[in-house]
Structure 1
Amino acid sequence: MALVLPSELVVEQFLPTVRAMLATRLAERGMTQREIATHLGVTQAAVSKYVGGESGGDDRFRDHPETVAAVDRIADGLASDEMDGYDALTELLALIRDLEDRGPICELHEEEMPALRGLGCDLCVRGLDPDVRTERDVLSTVRTAARTLAAVPEMADFVPNVGTNIGMALPEPRDETDVAAIPGRIYAIGGRIEIPANPEFGASKHVATAVLAATDVDPGIRGAVNVATDDGLLEAARERGIEPLEFDADYDDRDAHLRERFAERGDVPRVAYHRGAFGIEPATYVFGTDAGDAVERVRDLVTEAT
């Protein structure tokens, strides 16, 4: 993975775009190319290219409302002598900080370093954060678990019509945004498992509900996989000493219902299932200490069930 600093993107993509925008606006306000070059700290030839539309740049900045507003303020201020270079620099630095906070610079950085995707990375804004390491570890675990699941030959027969997902919670999760899963779910197509994207936090409500309910009762259970309910799989679980827990499918508040059922049992079962209801496909949840542990259990069960 290439190591790319956000500051490189500012220099290589943000500044040329903003300089071109400023040059055009200052020219529209009656400034000569020589005056514009002095203000921007570039050559007159560069200003000529900017004004002539030969500068390139990135439309994400050109079309970004905050960028457009800041450029207009700077152009108005420089053209009227109400703003000097210090004032313009202050505006630009504030804009860059905003664009690094989940803005276009952040988007470009994720494109250059795909490993940042799904982290909700605030490194540029809040600095080093030990929680980011934990988030990365969870995402990596889910990513590896998904690949493991896709390599199970029998798995395609156990993917429900609504798709399968793999979820894993951070320690002490608060809500579904603290559970990583695969966006768009995992589907079986032509007998093969298709994983549409890398895991992200908050990507699945259904599997997150099961994971959060389990973690609330037993903090050591942080992973889950949903598969189609199958009698062969349930019997395989029993043969391995796992007594599956049946729960109702049509509860409006499935989270509360699962917590209640787990509490009644006294622990979190490694396998919990329902037989479906009107408009609800039968589903089974397989739990584990993390996503990898849950997938390993799924692999054992589907292999034995077929």
Structure 2
Amino acid sequence: MKTPCEFWAEEVMPNLRANVARILYSKGLTQAKIAEHLGITQAMVSKYLTGKYKKLGGELGREIEKVSEEVAGLILYGARKEDVVRFLNRKFFEMFKSGVLCKGYLEYVGSTDESLCGEIFTEEPSRTQILEELSLALNELLRDEKFLELIPEIRSNFAYSLPNPKEKNDVAAIPGRITVVKGKVYALPPEFGASEHMAEVLIGLSEIFPEIRSVLNIRYDEKISDALRKAGFKVGTVEKSERSEEETVKLILDEFKKKGVLDAIIDKGGFGIEPCVYIFGKNPVEVVEKVKKLESLL
């Protein structure tokens, strides 16, 4: 019997590489450059771009398309090959655990024993993995000159939680926040327990929409409000002028309860509270993608 790793290598990876090649080509990369990034020949890139490969369908095919977009984003951000490999390894385990990849594997080997994948893949993401993913996304923001204009007076923080966080130390964030030093964006490496406010937001969200595990705050003004609308983001609003930090967290969570999964929440500020926008995502890379989309519309 073939193993899950063989299924991933023989059936899934060709689809993923083909999707990534198509995305990178649409962004202007040459076939030679795409081949270099993917570790394959230029002839294989050409084959992928002309659709000459066995395509995955159904739920698994759709999920691989999403992962391909994330991988292409990492490559375009300038991520190291080692970072992309780590990201794909994590996705491999996540997708088997979720059942999406397991169904395809069971069909591949002709089995109906759905407990097989659950017995093999039981690990939760480690704290090291969480820090690595957050660091990767943070580094992209540090390289992004446009992000400098999005940092509020209170500075930005960027957080990413373990699945089902229960306390502040289950949420990684930036010590001292993302700030500006000599006209450039600066931040210390992320740590667990570095932001009580962001931790409270993500802990509360985990009880409503556990898939939302990352958040970043940026400045707010009418131009950014306009860009949120043009981007087609689903947005909530907090408007109460006098409130404590605990009330702010409750108001953010109330917006999710009323409106469902949101891309962003505008906090219009109040007495002693600077207006800002919270950008949410399943992971830090998704949050940065949303920030990039906003920047393109400003």
Q: Give the shorter-chain TM-score range.
A: 0.5 to 0.7
Which position in structure 1 is the counterpart of 2:135? 143
Letter in 1 for 2:158: I
Deviation at 1:200? Answer: 0.8
Amino acid aligned to 2:174: I
Asked if 1:296 corresponds to 2:289, the answer is yes
Corresponding residue for 1:283? 276
Other-structure match for 1:258 = 252
Structure 2: gaps (5+ residues): 1-122
Q: Deviations over 1:216-250 (max 9, x none)?
A: 22111101100011222222121121132111354
Alignment-derived partner of residue 194 in structure 2: 203
In structure 2, relative to structure 1, the CA distance for the partners of 1:186 and 1:240 (3 Å cut) is same
- Residue 106 of structure 1: aligned partner: none
Alpha-carbon shift at residue 151 of structure 1 (Å)? 1.5
Matches within 5 A, 1:151-190: 151-190=143-182
Give, in whole Å, the separation in 1 of the partners of 2:295 and 2:178: 16
- The aligned length equals 174
Write the distance in 2 (CA, Å) between the matches of 1:149 and 1:207: 18
Superposed, which structure 2 residues align to 1:4-153 within 5 Å?
134-153=126-145
Note the C-alpha offset of 1:206: 2.2
Aligned residue for 2:146, secondary structure, equals helix
Deviation at residue 143 of structure 1 after TM alignment: 0.7
Q: Using the alignment, how far apart are the partners of 1:176 and 1:201 within structure 2?
A: 8
RMSD: 1.9
Q: Where do 1:206-217 residues align within 5 Å? A: 206-217=197-208
Secondary structure of the structure 1 residue equivalent to 2:255: helix
How far apart in 2 are the matches of 1:212 and 1:230? Answer: 28
CA distance in 2, matches of 1:162, 1:183: 14
List per-residue Cα deviations over 1:179-218 (Å, max 9, x = no partner). 10011101123331011x2111110122223323333221
Q: Distance in 2 between matches of 1:263 and 1:199?
A: 29
* CA–CA distance in structure 2, aligned partners of residues 258 and 144 of structure 1: 27
TM, length-normalised to structure 1: 0.53
Alpha carbons of structure 1 residues 230 and 216: separation in structure 2 relative to 1, 3 Å: farther
Alpha-carbon distance in structure 1 between the residues aligned to 2:234 and 2:285: 21
Q: 1:246 aligns with which of 222, 237, 245?
A: 237
Q: Retained in 2: the 8 A contact 1:223–1:291?
A: yes
Q: Is the 8 A contact 2:134 2:159 kept in 1?
A: yes
Q: Does the aligned pair in 2 maintain the 1:288–1:294 contact within 8 Å? A: yes
Residue pair 1:175, 1:212 contacting (<8 A) in 2 also: yes
Cα displacement (A) at 1:154: 1.1
Distance 1:259 1:295, change over 3 A: same
CA contact (8 A) 2:266 2:277 kept: yes
Q: 1:228 aligns with which of 219, 230, 238?
A: 219
SS in 2 for 1:284: strand
Normalising by the residue count of structure 2, what TM-score does the alignment of the two structures yield? 0.55
Q: Look up the SS of the partner of 1:217 in the other structure.
A: coil
Amino acid across the alignment from 2:210: P
Counterpart contact for 1:168–1:290, Cα < 8 Å:
yes
Q: Structure 1: which 5+ residue stretches go unaligned? A: 1-129
Alignment deviations for residues 29-87 of structure 1 (CA, whole Å, 9 cap, x no partner)? xxxxxxxxxxxxxxxxxxxxxxxxxxxxxxxxxxxxxxxxxxxxxxxxxxxxxxxxxxx
1:234, 1:244 within 8 Å by CA — same for their partners in 2? no
The CA distance in 1 between the partners of 2:207 and 2:213, in whole Å, is 10
Measured against aligned partners, the alpha-carbon deviations of 1:158-185 in whole angstroms (never above 9, x if no partner) come to 1011111110010011122211001110
* Residues 273 and 248 of structure 1: CA distance in aligned 2, closer, same or farther (over 3 Å): same
Give the distance between the partners of 1:299 and 1:207, measured in 2 at CA. 21
Counterpart CA distance in 2 for 1:206 and 1:163 is: 13
In 2, Cα distance between the equivalents of 1:201 and 1:244? 28
2:230–2:297: 8 Å Cα contact kept in structure 1? no
**Equivalent pair of 1:149/1:299 in contact (CA under 8 Å):** no
